């Protein structure tokens, strides 16, 4: 199966270049705020907290970034909050990812579309992982897929996106590449964030976890989980070099999750330019490059109009992928 979305993302991650930093005039946020559309511990929470801390460390924002966790609907509760109630707030940014684009592509935010917000910029691409508890008897990804083939009801896989969302799609892509013909039989359970899914995995309610490397790093370092495969085209470098890819195990599944921000749709041009410039400078900093390296983020450097176009392409490609796998008609 040809997955254009994954290949487009990888190309963008490797080739993306930032526009020149925009010099915002006449706007400074008084109370900078980042909404993480999930519970603490997941990828959106990571995006808000790491970016907020680094923005403050670099004096790119005037005060501490307030992080608000607003879980529900695979990001839909936060999206609706911004579109319906906070339409012109210049101090506000919202963490977004491929999961956001997935829900928009599948019309899962009722009555909402991507053009109702302003897309600010990306901060990297996060490769997917499929993991088990450290004491699991499952040794590798083919072993997990064989269990699913033999009895789909025996394996519950949890993730931080809604049913049909990006975490779910990654498992379905792997299952399809592993030769599972009826991928909709794969048992996926949705949670409000990757952290909650891992908690259920460790408690024995799940047999496997699907998420992204950045949200898994703490659990890997603590020894709580064991990653069966990273969904990257080749092994990552540094501390993650020991993690095998799905591809080297004979399952040609690749999935990169971009991470970035959007703002309210009626945010002023001055506020928008401020945040585009701030995210551009953040990405270019040595401090953020160190965050990317320590959390396994791949390069993806897009801001402003380039990011807007990239998200539109992502939505279009996920729509095609969702139809191909049978998530939507």
CATH homologous superfamily of 4-126+257-325 equals Bordetella uptake gene, domain 1 (3.40.190.150)
Q: What share of the chain is helix, strand, coil (3-state, %, to 5)?
A: 45, 20, 35
Confidence of residue 17 (pLDDT cuts 50, 70, 90): very low
Residue 25 has a pLDDT of 56
**Mean pLDDT on 180-201:** 92
**Mean pLDDT on 49-61:** 97
Q: Where are the beta strands (DSSP E) in the chain?
A: 33-36, 66-69, 92-97, 117-133, 156-159, 187-190, 208-212, 225-230, 256-264, 297-298
Confidence of residue 100 (pLDDT cuts 50, 70, 90): very high
Confidence of residue 197 (pLDDT cuts 50, 70, 90): very high
Handedness of CA 178, 183, 188, 192 (dihedral sign): positive
Confidence of residue 115 (pLDDT cuts 50, 70, 90): very high
> In the chain, which residues fall in CATH 3.40.190.150?
4-126+257-325
Nearest to 96 by CA among 119, 64, 127, 65: 119
Q: Tens of pLDDT along 124-139?
A: 999 999 999 999 999 9
pLDDT at 245 over 80: yes
Question: Percent of the chain scored above 90 by pLDDT?
Answer: 74
For the chain, the average pLDDT equals 90
What is the model's pTM? 0.79
> In the chain, which residues fall in CATH 3.40.190.10?
127-249
Confidence of residue 29 (pLDDT cuts 50, 70, 90): very high
Per-residue burial over 90-127, b if 16 or more Cβ lie within 10 Å, else e, is bbbbbbbbbbbbbbbbbebbeebebebbbbbbbbbbbb
Question: Percent of the chain scored above 70 by pLDDT?
Answer: 92
Place of tokens 């709580």: 224
Tokens coding 219: 């659990």
**Mean pLDDT on 288-296:** 92
Q: Is 113 left (phi over 0), alpha (psi -120 to 50) or beta?
A: beta
**Mean pLDDT on 59-71:** 97
Residue 19 has a pLDDT of 33
Place of tokens 């307030």: 66
Domain at 127-249, CATH class: alpha beta
Confidence of residue 184 (pLDDT cuts 50, 70, 90): confident
pLDDT at 48 over 90: yes
pLDDT at 4 over 60: no
């Amino acid at each position: 199966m040809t997955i254009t979305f994954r290949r487009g993302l990888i190309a963008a991650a490797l080739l993306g270049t930032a526009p020149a930093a925009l010099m915002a005039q006449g706007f400074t946020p008084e109370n900078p705020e980042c909404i993480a559309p999930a519970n603490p511990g997941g990828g959106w929470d990571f995006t808000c907290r790491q970016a907020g801390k680094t923005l403050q460390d670099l004096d790119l924002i005037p005060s501490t970034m307030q992080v608000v966790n607003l879980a529900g609907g695979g990001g839909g509760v936060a999206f609706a909050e911004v579109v319906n109630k906070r339409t012109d707030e210049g101090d506000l940014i919202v963490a977004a990812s491929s999961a956001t684009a997935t829900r928009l592509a599948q019309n899962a935010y009722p009555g909402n579309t991507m053009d109702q917000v302003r897309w600010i910029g990306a901060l990297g691409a996060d490769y997917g992982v499929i993991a088990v508890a450290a004491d699991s008897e499952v040794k590798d990804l083919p072993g997990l897929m064989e269990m699913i083939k033999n009895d789909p009801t025996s394996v519950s896989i949890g993730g931080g996106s809604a049913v049909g969302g990006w975490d779910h799609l990654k498992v379905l892509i792997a299952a399809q590449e592993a030769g599972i013909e009826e991928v909709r039989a794969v048992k996926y359970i949705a949670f409000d964030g990757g952290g909650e899914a891992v908690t259920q995995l460790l408690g024995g309610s799940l047999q496997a976890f699907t998420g992204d490397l950045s949200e898994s790093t703490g659990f890997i370092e603590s020894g709580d989980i064991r990653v069966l495969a990273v969904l990257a085209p080749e092994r990552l470098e540094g501390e993650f070099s020991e993690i095998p890819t799905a591809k080297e195990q004979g399952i040609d599944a690749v999935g990169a999750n971009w991470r970035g921000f959007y703002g309210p749709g009626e945010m002023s041009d001055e506020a928008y330019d401020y945040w585009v410039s701030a995210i551009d400078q953040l990405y270019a900093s040595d401090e953020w490059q160190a965050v990317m390296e320590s959390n396994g983020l791949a390069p993806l450097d897009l801001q402003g109009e380039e990011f807007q176009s990239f998200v539109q392409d992502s939505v279009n490609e996920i729509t095609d992928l969702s139809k191909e796998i049978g998530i939507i008609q």
